[in-house]
Structure 1
């Protein structure tokens, strides 16, 4: 099973709808959560028909801002529980098993001064129907400085409030593959910023229910936010993919380039906070810098080896056919 969460930034133009149709055609999600639709229910009904979904619940925008929509393939799959301008809460019923879990499509307040209201809402949702829980969406906040690139660092108090809300709700980040940053301001000058604002998080009940989970950050289409594509399965014996870990490689010690990368990352003077926070940020910066350096240096080589291996396999199959 799979679902997509996307801050689409408006479905008022035909190109945005065409891109959404292409996205759902390629990935075939059974559940689709959309934020900032800027469309009322009658307009979203047209979109639902084009996308081929049976069920839909819409929170209308106010004026020209906001708007949420939750769509699902099978009308009996999902039951709406409650909603607000910032969320849609639903119960997903697994076909044939009678197993149910809670899905929350969440949209954090765009104004940082009011984001505490979003964290209060999240805590309230935790107390409602305490069953296995998956929460996805655009939280409009990051958990650490490593989730932001450009401009001044985020205030530690803002990030701490978000982390505390996730901890209080027993929600753990499910990680990702693909681009780390899900939003950009699209500027071309020194004010360029990109951040990881969109994510998927789940409690232990949901985490242990599904034996395989994959969260992919997809390419952006007519929006400054990238879609999140989540696949999950109950099949035994399949590895559950969580947040990617960066493992130190002994071979890096033999390369002077790695030392230079670490020095530059450690000496970054754009970080702020207490001495302990600065050290934590420096360690995160070193980890990210090493990961990017390793990919740039060895990633293309590994890809080339994979491609050559595939070519060799094709040649071997052709030779087998000719010999036969």
Structure 2
């Protein structure tokens, strides 16, 4: 969450020179590569401005919240909004974590070093890790945990 000083799409900037396509593509690629998602927020979407009230007025969506699927699973009721303030050229973003009314009773996976000494557990972990080679680290650990629990 913060000021990324870049836009993902041309419609996220008004006024001034157009954002260079290669810059937007680079930012978009970085977001995609990390498997992050642009978390929607309520309120005014142009979070930065310069020269308001003049012919040179520029505004852009430079501030955003990027989340992972795992984060969204942990906080399914979170809400975000932009906050109007008078003393800054940025609109702050407010992220409220709202506790779930129906908490999940899933046990979180916790790795135990002792499992490495157990031949069966060790083989399960090696096999699970090898099968998930193309996945992100968090997904690999989660899959390994599920394999151990089974």
TM-score (norm. length: structure 2): 0.64
Greater share of strand residues, 1 or 2? 1
Give the counterpart of 1:221 among 64, 86, 105. 86
1:197 aligns with 62
Q: 2:29 aligns to what SS in structure 1?
A: helix
> Any idea what the Cα deviations from partners look like across 1:23-68, whole Å, max 9, x if unmatched?
xxxxxxxxxxxxxxxxxxxxxxxxxxxxxxxxxxxxxxxxxxxxxx
Q: Which runs of 5+ in 1 are unaligned?
A: 1-135, 238-324
1:167 aligns with 32
Q: Does the CA-based 8 Å contact 1:183-1:194 persist in structure 2?
A: yes
Q: List, as ranges, runs of 4+ consecutive aligned residues in structure 1 with deviation greater than 6 Å.
A: none
Shift of 1:233: 2.4
Give the counterpart of 2:74 among 189, 193, 209. 209
Greater share of helix residues, 1 or 2? 1
Greater relative contact order, per chain length (Cα 8 Å cut-off, separation 6+)? 2
1:152 aligns with 17
Q: 1:233 aligns to what SS in structure 2?
A: coil
Q: Does the CA-based 8 Å contact 1:172-1:202 persist in structure 2?
A: yes
Shift of 1:211: 1.9
Q: Which runs of 5+ in 2 are unaligned?
A: 103-150
Residues paired across the two proteins, number: 103
Give distance in 1, aligned partners of 2:85 and 2:47: 8
> Any idea what the Cα deviations from partners look like across 1:123-162, whole Å, max 9, x if unmatched?
xxxxxxxxxxxxx110000000111111221111001111
TM-score (norm. length: structure 1): 0.31
Shift of 1:236: 4.1
Give distance in 1, aligned partners of 2:68 and 2:5: 20
